[in-house]
Structure 1
Amino acid sequence: MKQMRETRQESGRLTTVGGVRRAVRRLAGIHGVPAELRARLVVSVAAVAQDELAEGRGVRVSLAQAGAGETHGAGSALACVLAPVGTACEAGRREFDGLPLPATAAADGAAVWHLPPRTPGHGAATPPEGGTVPDDEAVHEELRAVLDRCDAVETEHRLLKEELEETNSGVLALYVQLEERDEQLRRAHGRMLRELEEALRPAPLDVSGLELAVHYAPAETDAPTGGDLYDWFRLPDGTVHITVVDALGHGVRSTGAALNVTQTVRTLALEGHPPGTIVERASEILASIDPQLLATVLLARVDPEGGEVLLANGSHPPALVVREDGTSSYLQVAGRGVGFPLPGSEDVLRARLAPGDLLVLYTDGLTESRKDPLEGEARLADSAARHRRRPIEEIPESIAGDMHTVVLHPDDTLALALRLPRG
């Protein structure tokens, strides 16, 4: 081990833990080691010495000013060394874990504690040379220092706890304010979306001899609408034209696409184009406006006086008719939608509604909520038959409620019902 500068204080051969404690306390008092640090040093040296003494080796304790080449970290000036007497330990084999004061192993197996510089006025009284009992004043001083440190830690912990409670109270108050603000924003957002949804709807249609009602629910609660849209209006000849569109996607972008389709169809219908040509012609027009647009389309022309219905279809789910006696059937028409290859309705289906008969037009979000379209169509027929005699304004929402008791595949949903009233 390297030599140390200045006066080196060293104990004789020690064979008991008590003797080690007394020796460390005496040497630490000579060098003015503060009481709290001295207490840590006494406990640490005694713990390491206990292992040596258990092996039958005596130990020596020394404390001195460290040489300039032996300082470890800023301000290290004193070194306490616990060295075995007689049999040297294997170099570097010792580890010192869990000590109140960290130690390092010297090359000869000694344990070394590097201490801060001596602080005048903080030393303890020196025990009598060769005494067998720890110096009461030094022990009491160490105990007071440790208790003072514990009190300081407890006070600091209490202050930190109080600060944390104040911080938590502030955070909680801020959280409540944010929740209130978020609720206000949600309400304002909801009002805006409802107004926007209402703006997208066509005006209510009041036609003698025909009852109409619709239910719409977006897949995303924060979106005013999706790609599902409808349009209805009366043509100059007295018939009612209905368009149901399902544009690819969700949210406002698909809403814009669906609006393009309904407005194009409305223009073509008012210009006098027959239902069988409208889907194809709308696809041709919209290809130059939005080449990415894909939408399924179902067109219905209804004569309120005679009950005749014309249906044209572009890749859309078929209309459902429920007769007054409860029997039902799907009105299938082949065709391909707007933006699809070879768009257009392959045929125009003609059907006739009698008083009390119910016609249901819808989008696939109604029948595919459980990911099985065929099972959905069967449930839709049962639900429509069950609700067919209710007031028309209640039927679409009642059907949607039946269909969405279990939702495995959320999607925009539109259900439109029309009925010829019974006399």
Structure 2
Amino acid sequence: MKPKHFSTLAPLRRTVRRLASDHGLPADTRGRLVLSVTDLAADELHAGRSVVLTTTRETTRPGERPHLVITLQAPQAAAPLATADLPLPAPVTTPDSATWHIPLPDTDPSGSDGPHRGPWPTSMPRVPAQWPPRSEARQIDEELRTTLALADALTAEHRRLKHELSETNAGVLALYVQLEERDEQLRRAHGQVLRELEDALRPPAPTVNGIELAVHYAPADPASPTGGDLYDWFVLPDGTLHVTVVDALGHGVRSTRSALNVTHAVRTLALEGHSLNSILARTHEILMPLYPDLMATVLLARLDPATGELHLANGSHPPALLRQEDGTSRYLEARGRGIGFPLPGSEEVLRTRLGPGDLLLLYTDGLTESRRDIVEGERRLVEAVQAHAHRAVADIPAAVAADMHTVVLHSDDTLALAIRIPPAALTSS
């Protein structure tokens, strides 16, 4: 088709629709082409500038399906044509033109139904000079019907996908509920195993006439209730209560093993009759060849329930706190260095006596260093023990720990062990 000039939209729209129809383009392609051409031409025509439409048919090789090539040009355009976001994108554009290369359908160009057979003709089909309005109306109806059919198909597909998504969500929710139930079962089983492990590691309080005992332990990580803070208490053959408090370096199972090695060695030496001031150094000698990386602070206490006589040996451990019946409190300082430290062992054995109503608290540094200030922590510990000294011994360690951990800046395993001589419990002086 020779280049044709247009100064209004209606003839341009009819011409493009007729060309698309005569070449057998599908209704949806035809509609997109008509909209694209008129969208580009509208501003030019409304401004009184004409546009030029050129149509050709190209075949790259003989016998191959040809392309319908349509070019719209606006030679007087004041600005580049807005070719972006067209209903039918134009693969070739210039500032004043747009060109579409549309593959012709595999049907007979003569207009008969059925597939095309034989080589494609090289000439363009003849386009009548006039196009009856009724024919255009039918074409517009067909385009509208095609659009509606596509919209209906998309709506149906949307409903199907929505239904599938709903079923998938229901399945995922059911699976999520099952996983939550399974996780809860695993959490309960895990917690039970850990509680049993903790009970196995932490011996129950021995029964000692004239002495009340209680202990509280809290791990740095609630999901791992074993740590390096450990204790051991037992009665020696002479009736004396022996208590060991250990704080091994680190956290978790590895530090638990270190603490267990220390408590087992101390128990063996104590039951063999070694003196309190020699046990720490001897424990170091036994364990270092086997565990050269082991480091632990240790506090040893011996209490005679008949007399209230108390002996303490210390290896780099926080001092015991004594709260007396008259309300006064003091820390029982004893010099010494822990297992794995240079020059390990207790330099001295501190000797004192507990009277009726006196309360002794042994603990690890997780109790006093939760706010990263040891001095402030020791002061607050005195206040906490003073506040809870009137309670039953079984409640005191946990109550003191709760007061000390209202603010935690440094999380660590925490152990608090309370020993009290009840009033009128001593039989001799």
> Could you tell me the TM-score, scaled by structure 2's length?
0.88
Pairing of 1:58-137 with structure 2 (within 5 A): 58-68=50-60, 77-85=67-75, 96-106=83-93, 109-120=96-107, 129-130=129-130, 135-137=136-138
Q: Map Cα deviations across residues 53-112 of structure 1 (whole Å, 9 max, x no partner).
A: 46654222234433328xxxx988333221235x6999xx76621111111335695311
Residue 31 of structure 1, aligned match among 6, 19, 23: 23
Please name the residue that 2:120 is paired with: none
User: Is the 8 Å Cα contact of residues 239 and 304 (structure 1) preserved in structure 2?
Assistant: yes
> Could you tell me the TM-score, scaled by structure 1's length?
0.89
1:339 Cα offset (Å): 1.1
Distance 1:54 1:314, change over 3 A: farther
Q: Mean alpha-carbon deviation: is it higher for 189-198 or for 342-351?
A: 342-351
For residues 367 and 281 of structure 2, what CA distance do their matches in structure 1 show?
26
For residues 68 and 317 of structure 1, what CA distance do their matches in structure 2 show?
94
Q: Map Cα deviations across residues 279-308 of structure 1 (whole Å, 9 max, x no partner).
A: 222122211111111111111111111111
Gap regions ≥5 residues in structure 2? 112-125, 425-429
Pairing of 1:306-345 with structure 2 (within 5 A): 306-345=307-346
Please name the residue that 1:293 is paired with: 294
Q: Map Cα deviations across residues 172-223 of structure 1 (whole Å, 9 max, x no partner).
A: 0000000000000000111111111111112430011111110111111121
Q: Map Cα deviations across residues 350-372 of structure 1 (whole Å, 9 max, x no partner).
A: 12110100000011111122222
Please name the residue that 1:305 is paired with: 306
Q: RMSD across aligned C-alpha pairs, in angstroms?
A: 2.7
Q: How many residues align?
A: 407
Q: Map Cα deviations across residues 313-362 of structure 1 (whole Å, 9 max, x no partner).
A: 11111111101122111112222211122222222111211010000001
- Secondary structure of 1:282's counterpart equals helix
Pairing of 1:246-285 with structure 2 (within 5 A): 246-285=247-286
1:266 Cα offset (Å): 1.0
For residues 394 and 364 of structure 1, what CA distance do their matches in structure 2 show?
20
- Secondary structure of 1:288's counterpart equals coil
For residues 131 and 12 of structure 1, what CA distance do their matches in structure 2 show?
16
1:406 Cα offset (Å): 2.2
Pairing of 1:99-178 with structure 2 (within 5 A): 99-106=86-93, 109-120=96-107, 129-130=129-130, 135-178=136-179
Name the amino acid aligned to 1:329. Answer: R
Distance 1:132 1:410, change over 3 A: farther
Name the amino acid aligned to 1:68. Answer: T
User: Is the 8 Å Cα contact of residues 34 and 119 (structure 1) preserved in structure 2?
Assistant: no
Distance 1:303 1:340, change over 3 A: same
Please name the residue that 1:4 is paired with: none
1:127 Cα offset (Å): 9.7
- Secondary structure of 1:151's counterpart equals helix
- Secondary structure of 2:280's counterpart equals helix
Distance 1:97 1:108, change over 3 A: closer
